[in-house]
């Protein structure tokens, strides 16, 4: 296979596999209606209408794909007129292709048609290998079948989507499958239920999680640590309402640029339009505007952990990592231009501390405006150029390595995104620092400069871990449910060998609780082995067995999660061990 440093050839391989997939399904089901088949991360998919497939059908489809690929069919692209393409797909009874062509007709006179030998012809803009003989047949696999609405619109027909993965070598495929197997074991939706951390209810609604006492405790620990970091940077905690007049979002730009993701709210007593807030920033502008400001007052820093609401499409919801209701460890700083560097470094230092505490590596992405779609953003070219160059310069001055990502900016300004890597190598976009020169001007925010003139402040948006709810889902998978001691809702179980030793177990519990450790006494009338297995299943960090020998010596027999039996030790020694395990995080 031809190699390419930028991975372009691998993309062509994956896209070619999508054509082979479509050809195989059409061979097996001649009545199938074809949708689209793009390249995605690690592979490809193709959407099919007018048929039903299940995971049991995948081996048969995969076998057909291999037979087609072994024919060494050449890929050849032709340009057809719109009328020729429409006529072809009308004869083939392909309504989805016809819709795509009719859409292209608004801007194009010709469309791409790609032959795969004389076996299969598809509407396609291109991006293929020369022949199916180049496909690494030992390095691909069909992985799953799912439902997908046509064009992502829940009002349109539901199609059958077949997913596949493809790599350059069989070894890469096997490594990926092993990672996926491990990811399946760590699935936060399964572990969250097994550990009793959160639930979803059909009566409450999709994307609206309910957190149990255990889950709430962990969630509050995440929030409290972010609050501590915010306080250390000089941020003051504020509280803002979840319902707002539409006028606020019209000024901020959310009404025009973000309305599709916002929940509209109806009042029984007024015709005014209201929305649930998707972000805190517009409200924080009003806190800033509530009093006169001078350069001596700057920076003004607000932190907010209010619940936010975004109207995500049902098909895009996924456990805790994509929700309709969530909070953010959100902060907004209003400052002068000569204070940007200091504020930027404060937040980046706090983010670095957080990632160290949560034991996550990371890299930095500089998210910029898409220069080919400027209409999707607020502000003029000069403002964007200034903001983007400022943020690029800050990262360069700090000596931070980063990757630029055009098109990933917020609609109001560029941003620095932190992409964290979890314990099995998956990436999660978490923290962010956003430089906003637009919103303060839109709201008419000013401060009195040293010369008495009115100046518009710079607004810096930032999040330390992003959404604590989403981050909890990430952490469940990062730790495989085995939270470090400081994050565990139950840190220690005390397990008496029989109910005769419950009184001593209570004494040990009292000593640990006095030092603020979270202890559960497991005095149930069950076998010792069953209690230990239950503690291991619930991933309790420390299990302390107490019996006659331990009661006589004021000791415990300790077991640590992941290490097994630690032997007998005095309670005082155990306390030292527990406190030392927490002390690096103090």
The residue among 21, 18, 15, 94 whose CA lies nearest residue 57 is: 21
Helix/strand/coil percent split, the chain, to 5: 40, 25, 35
Cis, peptide link before residue 579, omega less than 30° from 0: no
The active-site residue, picked from 122, 330, 417, 422, is 330
Pairing of the two strands 361-368 and 402-406: parallel
The active-site residue, picked from 461, 470, 539, 559, is 461
Q: End-to-end alpha-carbon separation of the chain, Å?
A: 53
3-state secondary structure of 361: strand
Question: Across-strand partners of 398?
Answer: none
Are the beta carbons of 82 and 101 closer than 8 angstroms?
yes
Is 461 a known active-site residue? yes
Pairing of the two strands 458-463 and 519-521: unpaired
Domain boundaries defined on the chain: 8-185, 208-242+278-478, 490-585
For residues 343 and 349, give the distance between their C-alpha atoms in angstroms, rounded to a whole number: 10
The residue among 518, 515, 510 whose CA lies nearest residue 492 is: 518
In sequence order, the 6+-apart residues with CB closer than 8 A to the CB of 578 are 485, 491, 492, 512, 515, 517, 542
* Residue whose pair of structure tokens reads 């005014």 in the numeric block: 272
Is 332 a known active-site residue? yes
pLDDT at 1: 42
The residue among 290, 327, 283 whose CA lies nearest residue 459 is: 283
Pairing of the two strands 492-496 and 519-521: parallel
Is 330 a known active-site residue? yes
Are the beta carbons of 300 and 334 closer than 8 angstroms?
yes
CATH code linked to domain 490-585? 3.40.50.800
The active-site residue, picked from 14, 161, 186, 310, is 310
- Decide whether 208-242+278-478 matches 490-585 in CATH topology: no
The residue among 425, 412, 411, 424 whose CA lies nearest residue 363 is: 425
The active-site residue, picked from 328, 434, 455, 491, is 328
Are the beta carbons of 302 and 236 closer than 8 angstroms?
yes
- The tens place of each residue's pLDDT in the chain, 586 residues long, gives 444 444 578 999 999 999 999 999 999 999 999 999 999 989 999 999 999 999 999 999 999 999 999 999 999 999 999 999 999 999 999 999 999 999 999 998 999 999 999 999 999 988 899 999 999 999 999 999 999 999 988 889 999 999 999 999 999 999 999 989 998 999 999 999 999 999 999 999 999 999 999 999 999 999 999 999 999 999 999 999 999 999 999 999 999 989 999 999 998 998 899 999 999 999 999 999 999 999 999 999 999 999 999 999 887 888 999 999 999 999 999 999 999 999 999 999 999 999 999 999 999 999 999 988 888 888 888 888 888 898 899 889 888 889 998 998 888 888 899 999 888 888 999 999 988 888 999 999 999 999 999 999 999 999 999 999 999 999 999 999 999 999 999 999 999 999 899 999 999 999 999 999 999 999 888 889 999 999 999 999 999 999 999 999 999 999 999 999 999 999 999 999 999 998 655 4
Continuous H helices in 375-431: 381-398
DSSP 78: E
The active-site residue, picked from 188, 324, 332, 522, is 332
pLDDT at 4: 41
3-state secondary structure of 416: strand
The active-site residue, picked from 19, 47, 186, 281, is 281
Show the beta-strand stretches assigned E in 180-329: 198-199, 210-211, 236-238, 243-245, 264-265, 274-276, 300-304, 307-309, 325-327
| CA–CA distances in Å: residue 89 to residues 96, 116, 121, 271 | 9, 17, 10, 49
Is 106 a known active-site residue? no
The residue among 484, 343, 477, 459 whose CA lies nearest residue 420 is: 477
3-state secondary structure of 82: helix
Burial per residue of 400-433, b for 16 or more beta-carbon CB atoms within 10 angstroms, e otherwise: eebeeeeebbbbbbbbbbbbbebeeeeebebbbb
Q: Phi and psi at residue 32, in whole multiples of 5°?
A: -60, 145
Is 254 a known active-site residue? no
| CA–CA distances in Å: residue 68 to residues 5, 27, 327, 478 | 29, 10, 50, 41
Is 153 a known active-site residue? no
Are the beta carbons of 387 and 414 closer than 8 angstroms?
yes
In words, the CATH class of domain 8-185 is alpha beta
Burial per residue of 333-370, b for 16 or more beta-carbon CB atoms within 10 angstroms, e otherwise: bbbbeebbeebbebbbebbeebbeebebebebbbbbbe
Tens of pLDDT, residue by residue over 74-83, are 999 999 999 9
Is 281 a known active-site residue? yes
What CATH homologous superfamily does 208-242+278-478 map to?
Bira Bifunctional Protein; Domain 2 (3.30.930.10)
Helix (H) or strand (E) holding 568: strand 564-570
Structure-token pair, residue 570: 């005095």
The active-site residue, picked from 230, 346, 415, 539, is 415
């Amino acid at each position: 296979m031809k190699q390419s440093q930028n991975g372009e050839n691998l993309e062509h391989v994956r896209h070619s596999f999508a054509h082979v997939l479509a050809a195989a399904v059409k061979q097996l089901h001649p009545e199938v209606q074809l949708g689209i088949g793009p390249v995605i991360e690690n592979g490809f998919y193709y959407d099919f209408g007018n048929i039903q497939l299940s995971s049991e059908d995948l081996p048969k489809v995969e076998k057909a794909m291999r037979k087609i690929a072994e024919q060494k069919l050449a890929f050849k692209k032709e340009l057809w007129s719109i009328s020729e393409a429409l006529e072809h797909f009308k004869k083939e009874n392909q309504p989805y292709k016809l819709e795509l062509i009719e859409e292209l007709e608004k801007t194009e006179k010709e469309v791409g048609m790609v032959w795969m030998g004389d076996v299969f012809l598809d509407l396609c803009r291109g991006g293929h290998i020369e022949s199916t003989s180049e496909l690494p047949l030992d390095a691909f696999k069909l992985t799953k079948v799912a439902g997908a609405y046509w064009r992502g619109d829940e009002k349109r027909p539901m199609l059958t989507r077949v997913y596949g993965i493809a790599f350059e070598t069989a070894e890469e495929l096997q490594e990926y499958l092993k990672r996926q197997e491990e990811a399946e074991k760590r699935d936060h939706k399964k572990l969250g239920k097994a550990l009793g951390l959160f639930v979803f209810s059909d009566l409450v609604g999709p994307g609206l999680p309910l957190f149990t006492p255990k889950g709430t405790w962990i969630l509050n620990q995440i929030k409290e640590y972010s609050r501590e970091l915010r306080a250390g940077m000089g941020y003051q905690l504020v509280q803002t309402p979840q319902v707002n007049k539409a006028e606020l979002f019209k000024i901020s730009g959310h009404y025009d640029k973000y309305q599709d993701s916002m929940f509209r709210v109806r009042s029984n007593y007024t015709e005014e339009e209201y929305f649930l807030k998707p972000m805190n920033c517009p409200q924080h502008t009003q806190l800033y505007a509530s009093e006169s400001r001078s350069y001596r007052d700057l920076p003004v820093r607000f932190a907010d952990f209010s619940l936010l609401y975004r109207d995500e499409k049902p098909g895009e919801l996924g456990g805790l990592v994509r929700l309709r209701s969530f909070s953010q460890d959100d902060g907004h700083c209003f400052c002068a231009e000569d204070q940007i560097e200091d504020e930027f470094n404060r937040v980046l230092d706090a983010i670095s501390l957080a990632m160290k505490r949560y034991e996550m590596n990371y890299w930095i992405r500089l998210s910029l405006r898409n220069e080919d779609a400027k209409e999707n953003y607020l502000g003029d070219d000069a403002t964007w150029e200034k903001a983007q160059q400022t943020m690029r310069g800050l990262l360069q001055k700090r000596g931070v390595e980063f990757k630029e990502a055009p098109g990933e900016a917020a609609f109001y300004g560029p941003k620095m995104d932190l992409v964290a890597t979890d314990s099995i190598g998956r990436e999660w976009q978490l923290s962010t620092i956003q430089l906003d020169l637009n919103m303060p001007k839109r709201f008419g925010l000013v401060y009195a400069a040293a010369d008495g003139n009115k100046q518009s402040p710079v607004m810096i948006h930032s999040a330390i871990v992003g959404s604590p709810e989403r981050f909890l889902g990430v952490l469940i998978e990062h730790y495989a449910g085995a939270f470090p001691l400081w994050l565990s809702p139950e840190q220690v179980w005390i397990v008496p060998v029989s109910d005769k030793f419950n009184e001593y177990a209570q004494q040990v519990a009292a000593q640990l609780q006095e030092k603020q450790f979270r202890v559960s006494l497991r005095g149930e009338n069950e076998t010792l082995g069953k209690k230990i297995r239950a503690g291991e299943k619930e991933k309790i960090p420390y299990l302390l067995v107490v019996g006659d020998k331990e009661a006589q010596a004021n000791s415990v027999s300790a077991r640590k999660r992941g290490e097994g039996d630690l032997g007998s030790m005095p309670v005082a020694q155990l306390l030292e061990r527990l406190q030392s395990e927490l002390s690096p995080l103090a």
